[in-house]
Amino acid sequence: MTDDSTAPAVQLKGCTRRFDTPSGGEYVAVRDVDLTIAPGRFVSIVGPTGCGKSTLLNMAAGLLEPSSGEVFGFGEPLRGLNRRASYMFQQDALLPWKTVRDNVALGLKMRGVASAEANERALHWLRRVGLEGFANRYPYQLSGGMRKRTTVAQTWIVDPDVLLMDEPFSALDIQTRQLMENELLQLWQGSNKAVLFVTHDLDEAIALSDEVVLLGVGPGSRVVGRYEVDLDRPRDLMDIRSRPEFVRIYEEIWSQLKEEVMKTYAKDSPALAK
Amino acid sequence: METSPAPAAGRPADTSGTVVEPGDGLPGTRRRRRGRRGAVIRVLQVVLAVAVLGGWELLTSLRVIDPFFFPRPSDIAVRIWEWISTGYILDDLAVTLEEALLAFVIGSVLGLVVGFLLARVSLLAGVLDPYLKMFNALPRVVLAPIFLLWFGLGIWSKVAFGVTLVFFIVFFNTFQGVRDVDRVLVDNVRMLGASEYHLVRHVLLPSALTWIFSSLHISAGFAITGAVVGEYLGAAKGVGYVIAQSEGVFDTTGVFAGMIILMLVVLVIDLLVNRLEALLLRWQDPAKTA
């Protein structure tokens, strides 16, 4: 991990999050997690299903408060929502009753930018994500990939310092997904934005990130590994997966991820049998 | 009277029963086949109307059916024409529509505000829940006499009556709409910097409005029901009053004429509501709501 003299963009210190279960019990999603993302770094969180990846992201966003431990944004303890972060959700989060342009301009308008200027900048962003000419469509009229592009424009237009992404491309078909990943990297390159990217796809995590953080089996997941990904940038995701360095890093992380996945299975099977 | 039209999951049911026209992009042959089918249905509909009305006319002429209780369709048509051409009914119709419109607007605004408040303030919802249920369980017609005493024979007793009908429909739909709003939409807008006001304006209100518009047919119908029933029970003007007067002198032709005029008015209103709904909910995927 790099030791930055400036404050980290996002820092989780000893964060634990418990949830009450409907049966009156308690469920610990993540336990004692330390996580540091320096400004401009691309960090992915990978782990088996149900390991609390999204919980970490929601704590970084301020949507969830840690039960114990603390979250910092640029050195300041987080109170309420993380105002310097944008969040890209796994599910469709566009407002269905607003046109593409109005969805993209929304963040600016709510920050008090004049309507005409906000619309102007929204159109500019729509050009950047290749959706020129779709400004007046409604979300239902777009394909899944186009909706994701709209979401990218919506989250980037407010120029956040931190981008939180929760499996943003998992619903897309594999080709669209690779295209979107490439475009994301092109946008991010040189933007000096910190990215915290959650995925269950190790491939995607390595291809995109500077650092991959591996979460262990839930409940009570902890960080079980951190891997530096020292592949050159800018990267071309279309052929990076066959490069020997990529394969080496993949195998290194997969050997440990595999163990965690097997543990999940071992845990789940008796639970299912009950 | 059934006043909770909100179905459990997803979207409110389409209660209008209108047939959605096939969109563009249908293969030519299929569309032609549908067009032919549509023509056949139209012809059969006309045949049915002619058979029923003609049979009725014939049977009353032959005195098989007593025209005192079932006046001849031709007499009813003549009466309707008289009432309209002489302007006899127009004043009464205007009064009925005014009452219905006021009931609709006041009931909707109240339902919207209360539904919103209760959906956002769970303490209030918890406290008021049994009382709202009790009030909604009350057969609304029994309120008409007390409203007549409170608000007099003029329009306001009918408006108040209509409000009690419209309010609950809009209230339940607003409550449901605000409560059912997609959590992700709320989180997304909050992360984009929304204040509580923004949240209401950009997410909660539009979400509730989709439910309210879908119930517009029902609430508009109830507004008119409220006005007419109120007039019937005691008024000096209005279509309900005209029907009651005709009944008082055993003029069944007048009663039927009043009924049919009301029916036509409600049909026209329903068409207008369809137009309004299509305009305001144009962002909805027609394939999903069809």
Spatial neighbors of A150 by CB under 8 A, at least 6 apart, are A94, A100, A103, A104, A126, A129, A131, A139, A142
**What average pLDDT does this structure show over A67-85?**
92
pLDDT for A171 equals 84
Is the pLDDT at B40 greater than 60? The verdict is: yes
> Which of B184, B189, B191, B200 to mutate to test binding with chain A, by most A CBs within 10 Å of its CB?
B191
Q: Please state whether beta strands A211-215 and A42-46 pair in parallel, antiparallel, or not at all (unpaired).
A: parallel
- A111, A132, A159 - which closes a domain: A159
Claim to verify: residue A38 and residue A171 sit in the same structural domain = yes
pLDDT for B12 equals 40
Nearest chain A residue to B207, by CA: A97
Identify the band that residue A209 occupies on the pLDDT scale cut at 50, 70 and 90: very high
Spatial neighbors of B5 by CB under 8 A, at least 6 apart, are B12, B13, B15, B169, B172, B173, B215, B218
Determine whether the interchain pair B192/A97 forms a contact, defined as Cβ–Cβ distance below 8 Å.
Answer: no
Claim to verify: residue A15 and residue A60 sit in the same structural domain = yes
Claim to verify: residue A126 and residue A245 sit in the same structural domain = no
pLDDT for B2 equals 40
- The amino acid sitting at A250 is Y
> Which of A57, A92, A110, A154 to mutate to test binding with chain B, by most B CBs within 10 Å of its CB?
A110
Higher local confidence (pLDDT), B35 or B203: B203
Q: How many domains does chain A have?
A: 2
pLDDT digits (tens, 9 = 90+) for A143-184: 989 999 999 999 999 999 999 999 999 888 888 888 889 989
Instruction: For each of the domains in chain B, give its residue range(s) and CATH number, in order of start.
Output: 84-289 (1.10.3720.10)
Enter the ipTM. 0.87
Residue B16 in contact with partner chain A when CB distance is under 8 A:
no
Is the pLDDT at B27 greater than 60? The verdict is: no
Task: Tell me, letter by letter, the H, E, C secondary structure of B35-55.
Answer: HHHHHHHHHHHHHHHHHHHHH
pLDDT for A21 equals 87
Determine whether the interchain pair A95/B185 forms a contact, defined as Cβ–Cβ distance below 8 Å.
Answer: yes
- A128, A159, A190 - which closes a domain: A159
- A159, A174, A201 - which closes a domain: A159
Is the pLDDT at A212 greater than 80? The verdict is: yes
Is the pLDDT at B288 greater than 80? The verdict is: no
For helices B239-248 and B90-120, the axis angle rounded to 10 degrees is 130
